[in-house]
Structure 1
Amino acid sequence: MSTDAEFADAQRVPPIPPQPPRRPAAAPGPADDPQTAVLRRVPPEPPMPPLPPSAPGAPAAAGPHPVPPRPAAPPRAQPPAAGAPLAPRPDRAPGSPAPTGPAAAGPAAPGPSQPTAFRDTPAFRDTAAFHLARSQDLWSGPGERSAGRPSPVPWPRSPLPRQGVGHGTGAPAAPFRRPGARVLTAAACLILGIGLIGGAAAGSWLTEDASGAAPTAEAVFSKGRDVWHDTPVDTLFPRTVKGLGSGPGGADRTWTRIAVAPDTGCTGAYDPKLAATLAPAGCVRLLRATYVDATRSAVITVGAQTTKAGPSAMTALNTRFSSKNLGTRTDLMPLPYAAKGTAAEDFGRAQRASWTVRVLTDLPAVVYAVSGFADGRTFTEPQPAEAAVRPGTTTAPAESGLGHDAKDLADRIEADFRKAAGSPTPTRQAPS
């Protein structure tokens, strides 16, 4: 058995650093680890000197003192006893070069009672355990030096879906396709059409009165003066006009336009007496067109004269026509428009069978119509249209329907002029 004196200096042994929390799969060799390759060789531990015979607990028999086996873990260092001398510190670490100058004053060299292996703690900095503890930073990083601290666990990432596979179904997703030129063109046309419709609606709203009321009579009369050049000819004089139940006995009538006269003044457009009668109203422009019925046996000329007179002058002229029956006088009949190369080529003064003249009061216009046979036959007793359409009339203009043709086409052209001027409710004029 060994005595306590043999472990008198064991209390100065520093604790062995704890084993790192984890080690790599294979430690790098000296050739791979630059810090391990420069380690110095650990000097061999010197043998323990024998204890003097006078020391307590020494063996009685003389001879070499057996060295006890080194424990696996050194005991915890105890503070030195009171009055016990401390081991002197060496002037330099083992293996370091000696100073070139004179030796500095310091503690004496260790004696036989102070083992060389346990002279000072810095001697253990060249041991493999010391470098093994420092190599922990190479394995785990500077932030994991504390023993027992758990290594940081990376946050789990959700796997990204593979390209071309739909979420949750596993079926291939439809590839993205750019819209074609036809789709873009259709979309552009749709947007443009919606914009045009919206603009037209907004324009109509802006032109109307804020309360939604109909335009005033003054506005309608003023706009009617520009109808002749602001309205297409097919609107004022349609190519085909259908008269349901407008013929003799309620028969249906259809008229087709065969000629349109250029817009002209009123000079030479009337007989002298009719021109003198309409002169107080003035003349801005005269429009005329000629129609033929479905049997091509009757021809009708319709006309519209835009006047310069105001509402009061037009009312006075209308009163004159009504009070003096100027609309029934045969010497005040309007002239037909006999277009060359048409069915109305032979339609002249002698062929006039029925007529009507209307002086409007809500528009600056005079509307008229005159009818006759297409074969050029003459009439010695023409009849006004308002008289020829009365039931029971047996005259030639009444039975042939020429009175109905003149009246109904005049009604249609009058309505077209009022509609173009913005008049909401056409005013029917009394027979002139």
Structure 2
Amino acid sequence: SQVLPMEDINLHFTGDLHAITTANNALAALIDNHLQQGNELNIDQRRIVWKRAVDLNDRALRKVIIGLGGPLQGVPREDGFDITVASEIMAVLCLAADLKNLKLRLSRMVVAYNYDKNPVTVGDLGVEGALTLLLKDAVKPNLVQTIEHTPALIHGGPFANIAHGCNSVIATTTAAKLADYVITEAGFGADLGAEKFLHIKSRSAGIKPEAVVIVATIRALKMHGGVVKSELANENIPSLTLGFANLKKHIETIQSFGLPVVVAVNKFITDTKQEVDTLLEWCQRENVPVALTEVWEKGGAGGIELANTLLAVMDKEENQFRPLYDLSDSIEKKVRTIVQKVYGGNEVEFSSKAKKQLIDFEKFGWSNLAVCMAKSQYSLSDDPSKLGRPSDFSVTVREFKPSIGAGFIVALTGDVMTMPGLPKKPAALNMDVDENGNAIGLF
């Protein structure tokens, strides 16, 4: 089933993204004004970690110089932009329990370090009230309906490769009060969205999930089996079979959390009967509950088999949900646990900068926070070219980013950027609007 109108939901919708962008940049302006007006907090302008944000992929803004033009134009310094979904304010909004908790989390956000190398927070600046005011409407979940008139809540959108990849706690807990069953999505695979849902959102919201649905496509499995994108529409049983190793790891990861799992085969029109049967038969041999899902073609009717399978699994299998690490573990141990148990890697290498940050974070009392891995969504490793189920690899953490308001430490790995760039042929080339104001080329 779909929610309509898609073009509005994917463009501006209720303005939540604009509110988050505005709050993020208001904070940036307040920091620079504080420098200009005497710098009472003794902020070291070389150690300001709060970046500006824009809801666009604009690589030219990753590194910028601001405050040029003389004394009246501000204090010159290096700055940069993140994409809005990577802003800590997005994470804070999505993890806040209510308006009061939102304000508390905003006050804890670290924006800079002073000349004594101690953290400076939004609370130190005294502007958490103003930021909360800008977000007072955005914090409310957005109720929409599907084309089959069933309710859906759309609220928040932190990317799972650079942020924690889950919709808001408020939306999920609200839905739980209104329905017997609530289905929520976590971005990308079990190595990213699911891991972050189970380690970050579930802890923050006090949620004990009942089961996990892993959505698998024939196309993705063939890609993990070595098929190039232009050939994915062609039947290829050998490559499909090779790709099963990737799916198997995702299943094992969910099972390691003690949760029941169901595989949903999201059928595409290019999937052949033999390919679908091969995947279904593999799941049956692996003793993994599976359901062919045809919601794209048939709407709700195409998901009934999945719903019945999921209900049966929840009734039959025992839920022994447990996180893979304790919050009392060191940051280093948490990262290593995720790399070894979720990604299937051997070891973790920390850059010299990351090692120094670990010492500082311990001193600041941040070691008991969850870890949010910023990693490629294309591979279980931090190398997007390693498809399938790579083995005998290590993951390099080049830098940590404290998100104290959100309640986690971001570990940046590989080449993952918090400000993406546009491809050679951006989707914008296909977009337009007709004379009646109807969007063209968004999908």
TM range (shorter): under 0.3
Bigger RCO of structures 1 and 2 (CA < 8 A, at least 6 apart): 2
Q: TM-score of the superposition, structure 2-length normalised?
A: 0.22
Structure with the higher fraction of residues in helix conformation: 2
Structure with the higher fraction of residues in strand conformation: 2
